[in-house]
Structure 1
Amino acid sequence: MAQRIGIYPGTFDPMTLGHADIIRRGSRLVDKLIIGVTTNPSKNPMFSTEERLAMVKREVESLRLGNVEVKGFNALLVKFAKREGATVLVRGLRAVADFEYEYQMAGMNQQLDDDIETVFLMADVSLQPIASKLVKEIALFGGSINQFVSQRVCEDVIARVDKIGRMGDY
């Protein structure tokens, strides 16, 4: 029987506890889960692609999941999936707004390659409000992000904020 390979794509800027939850749970659904770290032209990343790749690799190693690997890509998701032999796309959902966007993306991906299925995983209730964008905003305004990211990611974000400067009056 062929190995079932899944892809969990994202920018992971930065990687949150919500991402880690989806990785843990998604890894149970497939024989091999590839975390695809990508660029998104509509986002302004805090970390470079290389920095995000290193961050995600470090965080995934700490999860101690034997069937998960991390790869960078800069292509259409379905082309990356095909190149990796993946037939499953894993996507995390936090709220209705996520569903609308992800539903549209799943439909477009199906139009591009109907051999690839999209599987949606609901975020753990305690992790649903966490979004990388909000984590960055909180950090930039001097707030604590400890409850949203691992200790190492928190250190990475704080170091970056110290380098680029905080915003607002705090």
Structure 2
Amino acid sequence: MRRAVCPGSYDPVTHGHLDIVRRAARIFDEVVVAVGVNPSKNRLFTPDERIAMLEEATADLGHVRVAGFEGLIVDFCREIDAVAIVKGLRGSGDYEYELPMAQMNRHLTEVETVFLPGAVGNAFVSSSLVKEVAALGGDVRGLVPEPVREQLLRRLAERGR
């Protein structure tokens, strides 16, 4: 079985993330969406909330599962016997950021990194930008799944109180 990992913080998951996961699922036998759990990072959503949002958003994909991980992604890949890490690239800045990590991961293990270009319609979308726009009252419909948008607006309202 050829298993791949799509790692990220997914805070929150966007349609851009889901596009990469769906495309990876067409290439690999199984895709594990790996949610980074780093207690030192300040996230809007807890790891369990991010995992739950991803499970709902990928429920229609039969050979995709969601799991949390801590530490190095290559260690997680070894634990689950993954052969590849799949990363989406929105542009050259993402490539310049991701390439050294891919090279280090290759240095540490036999796990390959596969880069997939983001769909043109998602090239500008990032979790950070979605959170910022939503916090300022902008409409993020179409950028995240509707249940995620609703949860995002609730969380931002809670934090605003």
**Which residue of the other structure, out of 134, 137, 142, is the alignment partner of 2:137?**
142
Taking structure 2 as the reference length, what is the TM-score of the superposition? 0.96
Give the equivalent residue in structure 2 for 1:130: 125
CA-to-partner distance for each residue in 1:53-84, whole Å, 9 max, x for gaps? 111111111xx111100011112100000000
The alignment covers a number of residue pairs equal to 161
Query: Structure 1 residue 92 and structure 2 residue 88: aligned?
Result: yes
CA deviation after TM superposition for structure 1 residue 41, in Å: 6.5
The 3 A distance-change label for structure 1 pair 42 and 108 is farther
Give the equivalent residue in structure 1 for 2:114: 119
Q: How does 1:2-81 map to 2 (within 5 A)?
A: 3-40=1-38, 43-61=41-59, 64-81=60-77
Taking structure 1 as the reference length, what is the TM-score of the superposition? 0.91
Q: What letter matches 2:50 in structure 1?
A: R
* Cα distance in structure 2, aligned partners of 1:104 and 1:39: 21
CA deviation after TM superposition for structure 1 residue 43, in Å: 4.5
> Runs of at least 4 residues of structure 1 off by over 6 A?
none
CA deviation after TM superposition for structure 1 residue 44, in Å: 2.5
The 3 A distance-change label for structure 1 pair 94 and 41 is farther
CA-to-partner distance for each residue in 1:101-129, whole Å, 9 max, x for gaps? 1101101101111x111000000001110
> Aligned-residue CA RMSD in angstroms?
1.3
Q: What letter matches 2:151 in structure 1?
A: D
The percent of aligned pairs where both chains have the same amino acid is 42
